[in-house]
Chain A
Amino acid sequence: MHASVRPAVSLNITPSQTGAIGREPIAALPMRMNISELNFFYGPKQVLFDIGMGVAASKVTALIGPSGCGKSTLLRTLNRMHETVRNARLKGEILLDGQSILAQDVTQLRRRVGMVFQRPNPFPKSIFENVAYGLRINGSKLPISEAVEKSLRHAALWDEVKDHLQKSAYELSGGQQQRLCIARALAVEPEVLLLDEPCSALDPISTAKIEELLVQLKDLCTIVTVTHNMQQAARISDFTAFLLTGQLIEFSPTPQLFTTPGDARTEAYITGRFG
């Protein structure tokens, strides 16, 4: 469906009402996040236009579209990482569990909405300290070594690193580093995990491992991932949003978007006619 024809959503929306944003299968699901009337600017240049969509709890939502369509920008608004860029300006509303994320303390928000980046970016610290970092800076009362083990297990990395937790994180392979970054994000037990093309710098085997991992992580948290790999979106996501030049063209359950797209532009993109 077109973002432009979507009925206006009031700002004090409740999770149960927002299902109406998607189609019937989404409507029945509880929403973790809601985006409405989101416009985004870098200086004078508008890069997102009137985006409205929901993020279903405990599901994988994929954002796809050609380079420069605004999918990464949209993802980065969800934990307000856009604020690290000068001249970035946002208009609209983003709700997390029914509360505006813009009104919250940003460090608290980012604890609840974690992020994994395009390239693995471990800290210049040991494997253990990388995972423990989020717990330490947030003054967590949890026993740290148990939490680190738990996160590394969730990220399917524990068996590979358990015997050398004190080694530099840079001694791991690229795929392991990315799983370490996922473990680091999971350690603070976020409600939502955002991933910005997490596999684009990785080889096919590492990519397969991470894809498998993301599907398993659904039980732990809600996942939003950006990808320019349509097959990947089809493999791992429950819902897919297709963006084009800053507009949300279509947002549907993944099987539906890839088999019976509702918009000619979606069809053109997924059949490889452009992008």
Chain B
Amino acid sequence: MSPRLRWRKFVSGFMLAMTGVCALVAVSVLFFILGYLVYHGGTSINWSFFTKLPTPVGETGGGMANAIVGSAKLLLAASLLGVPIGFLGAIYLAEFSGSKVAFVVRYAADLLNGVPSIVIGIFAYSLVVLPFKHFSTLAGGFALGLMMVPITLRSTEEFLLAVPRALREAAMALGASKWKTIVTVIVPAAYRGILTAVLLAFARVAGETAPLLFTAFGNRYWSPGWNQPTASLPVMIFTYAVAPYEDWHRQAWAAGLVLLGLILVINIVARAILARGIAVPRA
């Protein structure tokens, strides 16, 4: 083997190993976080964590039932606001708008995506909390929903544009109007990507804390309806993690584990839904 060839084989082997190591690092971060959460919070997870309210300071035990329900309500409100706006906006961008309008909207969406979440929180505070004069689930959902709009919009648009032109033409050549083509062919062909995008947006805002500090605030008790301050898992984690009590720290870890677990479950369910139906093969 000539030295030149040996050198090339070495470089090839080294680079291959590096790509593998980097892929491993990317995956292991998730497993490291999961393991860390289980190690610190696993012991605090029991039935009462899911069913009981937080206990007063000094008393051990209790749970975060109100925060789990609160987070679910906040995310429901956020999705009801953010997903339709992002989705329909993306349809307008991908199918109807001229290139100049699309450029402006895309640019604005990217900027909105880059706005720090705490600024979104202040915005929601002045727009929803101040006029109603109190914190509420709706205000928190509004803030999180705003954050979902640009992520949903941009990625939905990408997936709509990726639907092959041949499919649009096939539908239109059969006498489908533009709307029918969109509803019966383009969106069904792109729905896997769209659902993935929505899930990403959902997971992203599920862990947001800053926008909720000014909007949903927090609550030691149940929050009936939509118009009261509410507890949420991220804010609970924040509050409990910075408190000086050992028991609260363990509960904060447990809350982190529950939050991650819930997102994981939603992801797995969505993947199972995605696995059904017929995908457009790559060209």
Contact = CB atoms under 8 A, between A and B. Distances in A.
Given A133-B184, A170-B281, A138 B175 contact: yes
A109 B159 CA distance: 30
A137 B166 contact: no
Nearest to A171: B278
A133 B185 CA distance: 10
A6 B171 CA distance: 37
Interface string A67-79: 0000000000001
Contacts of A181: 170
Nearest to B173: A115
B173 A114 contact: yes
Given A124-B279, A126-B278, A137 B167 contact: no
Interface residues on B, range: 20 to 34
Contact of B166 (A114, A117, A170): A117
Interface residues of A, number: 30
Interface in B101-142: none
A184 B167 CA distance: 13
Given A123-B185, A124-B188, A124-B189, A84 B175 contact: no
B176 to A, nearest CB: 5
A111 B166 contact: no
A81 B172 contact: yes
B174 A111 contact: yes
B168 interface: yes
Contacts of B188: 124-125
Contacts of A133: 171, 174, 184
B282 to A, nearest CB: 11
Contact of A107 (B175, B184, B189, B277): B175
Interface centre among A81, A115, A123, A134 (most CB of B within 10 A): A123
A107 B180 CA distance: 11
B84 interface: no
B246 interface: no
Contact of B174 (A114, A124, A125, A168): A114
A188 interface: yes
Contacts of B176: 107, 137
Interface string A119-146: 1011111100000011011100000000
Contacts, number: 73
A7 to B, nearest CB: 33
B85 to A, nearest CB: 27
Nearest to B277: A124
Nearest to A167: B278
A168 B189 CA distance: 13
Interface in A171-200: 181, 184-185, 188
Interface string B5-41: 0000000000000000000000000000000000000
Given A111-B175, A117-B170, A121-B164, A137 B180 contact: yes
Contacts of B185: 123
B280 interface: yes
A229 interface: no
Contact of B167 (A107, A121, A136): A121
B278 A110 contact: no
Contacts of B164: 121
A188 B180 CA distance: 16
Contact of B278 (A107, A121, A170, A188): A170
Contacts of B167: 121, 123-124
Contacts of B174: 110-111, 114, 133-134, 137-138, 184-185, 188
> 6 smallest A-B Cβ distances: which pairs?
A121-B166, A111-B175, A115-B173, A134-B174, A124-B278, A110-B175
